[in-house]
Amino acid sequence: MASSGWPAWLAAWLATAAAGLVAATALALLSSGALATALDEALGSQLASEAGVIAVALKNVPVDAIAAVGGSRSTDQLRERLGDLTDAGKLHDAALINPSIGTIIVRDRDHTFIAALADADLILTAAGGTAVVGPLYRSEGAPYRAAYAPLPGHPGWVVGVEGSGATLGAVDRLRELQLVVGASSVAVALLFGALLARAVASPLARLDDELSGAAPGDSPDTIHVQGPREVRRVAEAARRLLGAITDRDQALIKAHTEQIRQIEAVSAAVAHEVRNPLHALGMTVERLGGPVDAERRAVLAQRAHQGIVEIDDIVKRFLDLSRPVQPQVKDFDVLELVRDVIAEHAALFDQLEPIGSPSTTRTDPDLLRQVVRNLLLNAHQAGARRVVIRSNGAQLEVEDDGPGVAEADRATIFEWFHTTRAAGVGLGLPQSRRICRALGGDLVLHQRQPAVFRATWEPR
């Protein structure tokens, strides 16, 4: 089932596009006002300069006389002169205005200076001797703006100029440029976002394919580490996980192999242990079936019973290996316990010597007794004739005069079913160590020759 959520490439693309759009909008908002103001001031200054230039050019013209006397020839010459100045300044229109007498002289006889109708207050200001610039306005979709300057040497007269199209169109071109730049910025942001999304999504998609196709046992090298840092970290984590799974599988295989080996060893040990008493039991039963007297039959029956008991003891020993060790602690004297075990095994050795002083400890005496018995039995099977048992607090050392432990066997003597003797099954030492560890201590080979085993426990 496919997981829900946005694709990485789409998320990265949208995030970049949104950031680009916000940046372009912010840039437009921050710059448009300042640029428009600066451009507006520059255009106003230009128109004011043009009005001043025309005013200087016409200062020697007898405008008062022309306005008072009239006459088409002189007026036409003034209009022609005004038209030349208008064309030279690339203006839309120009006029000589005297608001006090209501006279307006324009370049064309039949033309009206439209700005004068709206800028009467500005004209009066200019007639008072102060140059002024009018606001921007539109007529039939085109931008217009007027400027007024006093005519030097002719009080009350004003030069009015009007700019449009080529001059004032810069305002519209600025806005158009801002739109183009903004749209271009968004387009670049979208393109960059697409490239970034590809750079992020491609490694993610590849990692997804590799992880989906990975199976336990695959080499960690099947996961490629590439792309952005976060993707690399995920890939490295996937590699570690795949490696851990591989290590776990190998450990399970090893453990399974070891379990099989132990099962085989248990089977062989059980067969070895049971074979002799079972063989003797079979012979005994066979003799019971023959012609024997009552006394002989009783002896054979007793032997059969002993054989069954021996087989039962063997089975119990192996069943004990599968049961957890559950200590039953109590206080007791360690030296006294050692002396009791020595008394049980005195017939097996020429000398059994306890060394130590009476000391009370708190642990499971039955389990500790089993450890001492196993160590004595191990010494006896090794051929030892003299054994010394030293007790000191929560520690016992068993030293025998046998052949000791070979260096090659040092690392394996505590393994289950490991034995170097034909009559042994390799249970005594590993079981004793298992008990000591359950009591909070350990059983170690303290010395190889002569062999010294040290058993410790944690008093509870």
Structure tokens given for 412: 């394996």
Position 262 pLDDT exceeds 60: yes
Q: 15 lies in a domain?
A: yes
255 plus 106 within the same structural domain:
no
CA atoms within 13 A on the CB side of 183: 6
Q: Where does a domain end: 299, 322, 345?
A: 322
pLDDT tens string 115-135:
777 788 898 998 899 999 988
pLDDT tens string 154-194:
999 999 888 865 455 555 566 666 667 667 766 776 676 66
Q: How many domains does the chain have?
A: 3
Q: 267 lies in a domain?
A: yes
358 plus 315 within the same structural domain:
no
Closest to 11 (Cα-Cα) out of 204, 212, 235, 184: 204
30 plus 148 within the same structural domain:
yes
What integer pLDDT is reported at residue 306 of this predicted model? 73
Residue reference for tokens 């009206």: 112
Q: Band of the pLDDT at 272, cuts 50, 70, 90? A: low
Position 275 pLDDT exceeds 70: no
SS3 label, residue 90: coil
Q: 196 lies in a domain?
A: no
344 vs 138, residue with greater confidence: 344
Closest to 219 (Cα-Cα) out of 237, 239, 235: 239
405 vs 319, residue with greater confidence: 405
Q: 189 lies in a domain?
A: no
Position 305 pLDDT exceeds 70: yes
342 plus 314 within the same structural domain:
no
What integer pLDDT is reported at residue 202 of this predicted model? 74
What integer pLDDT is reported at residue 1 of this predicted model? 40
Sequence-separated (6 or more) residues with CB below 8 Å from residue 85: 53, 54, 57, 58, 94
Structure tokens given for 11: 């998320």
Q: 190 lies in a domain?
A: no
Strand 395-400 relative to strand 386-391, pairing: antiparallel
Task: Name the percent of the chain in helix, strand, coil, to the closest 5.
Answer: 60, 15, 25
301 plus 339 within the same structural domain:
no
Q: 197 lies in a domain?
A: no
Position 94 pLDDT exceeds 60: yes
What integer pLDDT is reported at residue 8 of this predicted model? 59
Average pLDDT (73-89) is: 85
Cβ contact 361:331 at 8 Å: yes
Backbone angles phi, psi at 93, to 5 degrees: -165, 160
Q: Where does a domain end: 128, 146, 177?
A: 177
What integer pLDDT is reported at residue 39 of this predicted model? 63
Average pLDDT (142-156) is: 87
50 plus 99 within the same structural domain:
yes
158: CATH: 3.30.450.20
284 plus 354 within the same structural domain:
no
Q: Band of the pLDDT at 90, cuts 50, 70, 90? A: confident
What integer pLDDT is reported at residue 425 of this predicted model? 62
348 plus 288 within the same structural domain:
no
Structure tokens given for 288: 């019971």
138 plus 94 within the same structural domain:
yes
Position 362 pLDDT exceeds 70: yes
313 plus 428 within the same structural domain:
no
Q: 211 lies in a domain?
A: no
339 plus 441 within the same structural domain:
yes
Sign for the CA dihedral angle at 211, 214, 216, 220 comes to: negative
354 plus 432 within the same structural domain:
yes
260: CATH: 1.10.287.130
Hey, which of 173-177, 293-297, 321-325 has the most confident mean pLDDT? Answer: 293-297
436 vs 89, residue with greater confidence: 436
Kindly report which listed range (15-24, 389-398, 416-425, 441-450) carries the lowest average pLDDT score. Answer: 416-425
* DSSP assigned state of 113: -
Q: Where does a domain end: 157, 177, 197?
A: 177
Q: 375 lies in a domain?
A: yes
DSSP 121-175: HHHHHHHTT--EEPPPEEETTEEEEEEEEEPTTSTT-EEEEEEETTTTHHHHHHH
Domain of residue 98, residue span: 8-177
Distances (CA, A) of 425 to 147, 283, 317: 121, 24, 11
What integer pLDDT is reported at residue 338 of this predicted model? 93
Q: Report the mean per-residue pLDDT for the chain.
A: 79
